[in-house]
Structure 1
Amino acid sequence: MLKRIRVTHRISLNEDEIEESFVRASGPGGQHVNKTETAVQLRFDVRNSPSLPDDVRYRLERLAGHRLTQDGVLILVADRQRSQIRNRQEALERLIELIREAAIPPTPRRPTKPTKASKQRRLESKSQRSEVKRMRSARHDD
């Protein structure tokens, strides 16, 4: 039976929706890094995931940015840890955190009115600017 990964109270992912591949990590590490594949490349198909509601899918695509391919596949690379297991956990945690962030609906903007003082300042600056331009003209009405 497939294991479900709980993201929020209403969203959980099937384990088979996440694809992991292992590559060699770059950077320092001596002989160990040259012979083991500890870095994890996690792939999650955002566009075709049956687990994500449409609003969350849209916000996740926007949040993913350059990590999203043309086909709508989110790619996360984790290579900070020396252990493959810890890198897998880190990549999965980052995916879950991204989905949780996308699951939070944006707060609607409350329209506000300008204050009386700000309207007054605006009108004063407009009249000052108008006066400067009027004085620059070749013929001004005094």
Structure 2
Amino acid sequence: MALIFPVSIAKMELLRKSMERLNIQESDLKETFVKASGNGGQNVNKVSTAVRLVHLPSGIQIQCSIYRTQALNRYKARALLCNQLAESLVIPEEMKRNKEAVRKKKRKNDQKRRSKKKYAALGNIE
């Protein structure tokens, strides 16, 4: 069953593609609705508009109460989940590249230090 949210077709298509790319399926999501907090008056106190979304394979939890409507919060929670999963996939690659860069910089500094020490020792002999 395809979910329909009150957003533009372009936004729906973008969400669908990012969920496909990250291999997120609706059956992997556990969705619960809770009452939001903060400003909003009676609507906040009476209606469960906040959405709590749990991605079961990764255990990532998202709670969204940005909008006053449940449907928009459902859409936004899925978008936030996609962003968080994409970050968790990208960060290990960046960390790996940063580690290599730090290792090269350390090696270069060590060479400089040894070189300075060598030439300082030669200068003291003369």
TM-score range relative to shorter protein: 0.5 to 0.7
Flag structure 2 segments of 5+ consecutive residues without an equivalent: 4-15, 118-126
* Map 1:7-26 → 2, pairs under 5 A: 7=18, 10-26=21-37
1:42 partner SS: strand
Structure having the higher helix fraction is 2
**Mapped contact 2:19–2:25 kept (Cα < 8 A):** no
Q: CA deviation at 1:2?
A: 7.3
Aligned residues: 95
Structure having the higher strand fraction is 1
Larger Rg over CA atoms: 1
Alpha-carbon distance between aligned partners in 2 of 1:38 and 1:9, rounded to the nearest angstrom: 26
Matched, 1:29 2:15: no
**Mapped contact 1:2–1:15 kept (Cα < 8 A):** no
Amino acid at match of 1:83: T
Q: Counterpart in 1 of 2:64?
A: 78
- TM (normalized to structure 2)? 0.61
**Mapped contact 1:39–1:87 kept (Cα < 8 A):** yes
1:80 partner SS: coil
- TM (normalized to structure 1)? 0.55
User: Which 4+ residue blocks in structure 1 deviate beyond 6 angstroms?
Assistant: none
Q: CA deviation at 1:35?
A: 1.1
RMSD of aligned alpha carbons: 2.8
**Mapped contact 2:33–2:50 kept (Cα < 8 A):** yes
Q: CA deviation at 1:77?
A: 0.5
Matched, 1:45 2:56: yes
Alpha-carbon distance between aligned partners in 2 of 1:23 and 1:8, rounded to the nearest angstrom: 24
Question: Aligned residues: percent identity?
Answer: 30
Alpha-carbon distance between aligned partners in 2 of 1:95 and 1:30, rounded to the nearest angstrom: 28
- C-alpha change, 1:29 and 1:8, in structure 2 (3 Å) is closer
**Mapped contact 1:40–1:91 kept (Cα < 8 A):** yes
